[in-house]
């Protein structure tokens, strides 16, 4: 029989609270704060139960590395496009950081 460590027990509790906060956030018309807390608690509980390495491998599989790389490149590539009040109307314009 497999032994359950204290960290895994804490992880089950964190994941349970995470699911509870997620359900409460959905019931309260998608409250952003409750959904965010639920996500953090659930992911930290999952990491405690199955371990950090397995959690990382679950969310970032090596077979889909190119797709994940494109996703992050899209997010990093759009960083210089920021709303600025230095220009007329606060329009989105590309400018170099100072």
pLDDT at 59: 78
Q: What is the pLDDT of residue 12?
A: 96
Q: Which domain holds residue 23?
A: 6-78
> Can you tell me the mean pLDDT for 76-97?
55
Mean pLDDT of the chain: 79
Q: Residue 33 pLDDT more than 70?
A: yes
Q: Does residue 89 register a pLDDT over 60?
A: no
Mean pLDDT of 7-34: 94
CA 39, chain centre distance (Å): 7
Query: pTM for this structure?
Result: 0.62
Counting the structural domains of the chain, the total is 1
**94 within some domain:** no
Nearest C-alpha neighbor of 32 from the set 18, 22, 17, 44: 22
Sign of the Cα torsion 31, 34, 37, 41 reads negative
Position 14 scores a pLDDT of 96
């Amino acid at each position: 029989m497999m032994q359950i460590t204290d960290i895994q027990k804490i992880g089950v509790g964190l994941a349970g609270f995470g699911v509870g906060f997620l359900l409460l956030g959905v019931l309260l018309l998608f409250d952003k704060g409750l959904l965010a807390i639920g996500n953090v608690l659930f992911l930290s509980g999952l990491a405690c139960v199955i371990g950090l390495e397995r959690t990382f491998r679950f969310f970032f599989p090596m077979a889909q590395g190119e797709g994940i790389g494109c996703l992050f490149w899209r997010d990093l590539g759009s960083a210089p496009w920021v709303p600025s009040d230095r220009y007329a109307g606060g329009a989105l314009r590309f400018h170099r950081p100072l």
